[in-house]
Chain A
């Protein structure tokens, strides 16, 4: 099966999502948080059994997060990039929320914990979103685009301030 045939098949299941084939063996599915569990479960039943990773892209200028699932089908040899777009509600109390993919790919646990602590995405239904890499982190999630690495380094390590480090 080619990626354009697979794209048609996915599109027929989810007419509201945007599905496109690209490059020689890739597939792009853009959906929203409400449809995400159905889309991911369907993708798995269509043969996308290998979850390469879950990651997130912070589109600060469009005010949205793209939670991205990279999945691969051993059977069809097609790669699918499933993007779940959520509004970038970082200052409100609720935070951006995406349903968990744990019931589809159990190994999503490690990736969801990571995306949660690096971007602040809440995976609804995941029982354990405790920090995995960061220890005693007080600042905003660090892989977000509004996190200022220079300012953080100055505060945390007290170096490179105004005029400091030049005279000596």
Chain B
């Protein structure tokens, strides 16, 4: 125990000593219950150990003890900034096992919630990336925009952070009256703000200097280690769950997979900026094409809801990559097993051993923010 709580001197000679350096769980550059323990010489990292496990798979165990519908209130908590992919992946898996298809309007509403959630997550992610380089004004400006989106979420779902909007069988409520008009106004505003962020962040020479060459991966390495989402597309690899394994309303929408060449932190930032713009376009398309009709299928009394025995894997493209839910049912009132595939696990637990050694302490936070390492989905 003692070697985890004290700063340990590893070695020493006449000129310098090597120490254990704790990066997290309590650190301004760490956004979550997670940490790296680094051996450092001067400010250069020589070895890194992962200090994970503050949530110790409690979510997965807890899900086995809840009813199928009860889990909806637990699942979004796996990812704070981007909760909706969790709900949709779980609901898709349940519906697939149950053998039902949900109404088309419900699919569109799901896609709408997913894309809104993606925007909030990108704003948080880009803001955090700026803050890690000392550009706090970027973060403050972006969090304002995120808050406007959260207002919309509150109007649509009744909740700001954890929406619990998707249920097996559809979504909880339809669009409120007047929502579309207000939301379109907000989208125009957000699109207008992109110019400001370009000058503050994406075209800022400081940012280019700090991000260039940090955490470079090739497409082959990225596939080998299991990177997905924007991190994979920033290496030039064409893959998007929305296109490859479509769910919700994505089969009806018209979009291309965007990629960026480079594979370093700068390429990932540019990729996120492109995808943010694409998301605005997708939301407009969703609202334009949304048909009328029901928003859910009634599946009977939630307290007596049973899913036929079987197992399936459902994946969703989140803002960080592939969120997957492997759901097993034995025909009972509760899930037999739910296993979550978090998108940041490959980067956070595996890639760190390749990238962090040789890096300076001040770049750890940038490296984490650029790969969107979200600790809760490593631990869950």
Asked whether A and B interact, the reply is yes
Chain B residues with CB below 8 A from A106, complex form: 224-225, 350
Q: Which residues of A contact B (CB under 8 A)?
A: 22-23, 25-26, 49-53, 55, 57-58, 68, 70, 72, 74, 77, 79, 81, 105-107, 109-110, 114, 118, 132-136, 142-143, 149
What 9 pairs across the A-B complex have the smallest Cβ distances?
A133-B53, A55-B339, A53-B341, A110-B349, A107-B226, A107-B225, A57-B337, A77-B244, A52-B341
- Find A70's partner among B50, B57, B326, B336 (CB 8 Å cutoff): B326
B35 to chain A, nearest CB (A): 12
Chain B residues with CB below 8 A from A57, complex form: 311, 328, 336-337
Expressed in whole angstroms, the Cα–Cα distance for A13 and B371 within the complex equals 39
Expressed in whole angstroms, the Cα–Cα distance for A129 and B328 within the complex equals 26
Q: Which residues of B contact A (CB under 8 A)?
A: 1, 4, 50, 52-53, 56-57, 60-61, 65, 96, 223-226, 228, 239, 244-245, 311-313, 315, 322, 324, 326, 328, 336-337, 339, 341, 345-346, 349-350, 379
Given A57-B336, A57-B337, A81-B313, A23-B223 contact (CB < 8 Å): no
**In the bound complex, do residue A135 and residue B324 qualify as a contact, i.e. CB atoms below 8 Å apart?**
no
* Additional pairs, 19, CB under 8 Å, beyond known A57-B328, A72-B245, A134-B56: A22-B312, A23-B96, A52-B324, A52-B341, A55-B339, A58-B337, A74-B239, A77-B244, A81-B311, A81-B313, A81-B326, A105-B224, A106-B224, A107-B225, A110-B350, A133-B52, A133-B57, A142-B61, A149-B65
Expressed in whole angstroms, the Cα–Cα distance for A77 and B238 within the complex equals 12
**In the bound complex, do residue B225 and residue A79 qualify as a contact, i.e. CB atoms below 8 Å apart?**
no
**In the bound complex, do residue B350 and residue A55 qualify as a contact, i.e. CB atoms below 8 Å apart?**
no
**In the bound complex, do residue B61 and residue A52 qualify as a contact, i.e. CB atoms below 8 Å apart?**
no
Chain A residues with CB below 8 A from B349, complex form: 110, 132
Chain B residues with CB below 8 A from A81, complex form: 311, 313, 326
Given A110-B345, A132-B52, A50-B61 contact (CB < 8 Å): no
Chain A residues with CB below 8 A from B244, complex form: 74, 77
Given A52-B341, A70-B326, A110-B345, A26-B313 contact (CB < 8 Å): yes
**In the bound complex, do residue B346 and residue A79 qualify as a contact, i.e. CB atoms below 8 Å apart?**
no
Expressed in whole angstroms, the Cα–Cα distance for A142 and B341 within the complex equals 19
Chain A residues with CB below 8 A from B56, complex form: 133-134, 142
Chain B residues with CB below 8 A from A23, complex form: 96, 312
Given A74-B239, A132-B53, A51-B226 contact (CB < 8 Å): yes
Expressed in whole angstroms, the Cα–Cα distance for A52 and B229 within the complex equals 12
- Find A136's partner among B1, B245, B339 (CB 8 Å cutoff): B1
Chain A residues with CB below 8 A from B339, complex form: 53, 55, 68
Expressed in whole angstroms, the Cα–Cα distance for A149 and B244 within the complex equals 39
Chain A residues with CB below 8 A from B326, complex form: 53, 55, 68, 70, 81
Q: Whose C-beta in chain A lies nearest to the C-beta of B4?
A: A135
**In the bound complex, do residue B346 and residue A110 qualify as a contact, i.e. CB atoms below 8 Å apart?**
yes
**In the bound complex, do residue B60 and residue A52 qualify as a contact, i.e. CB atoms below 8 Å apart?**
no
Expressed in whole angstroms, the Cα–Cα distance for A77 and B245 within the complex equals 7
Expressed in whole angstroms, the Cα–Cα distance for A74 and B240 within the complex equals 9
**In the bound complex, do residue B224 and residue A107 qualify as a contact, i.e. CB atoms below 8 Å apart?**
yes
What are 9 of the A-B contact pairs (CB < 8 Å)?
A: A22-B312, A26-B313, A52-B226, A52-B313, A53-B341, A74-B223, A74-B239, A134-B53, A134-B56
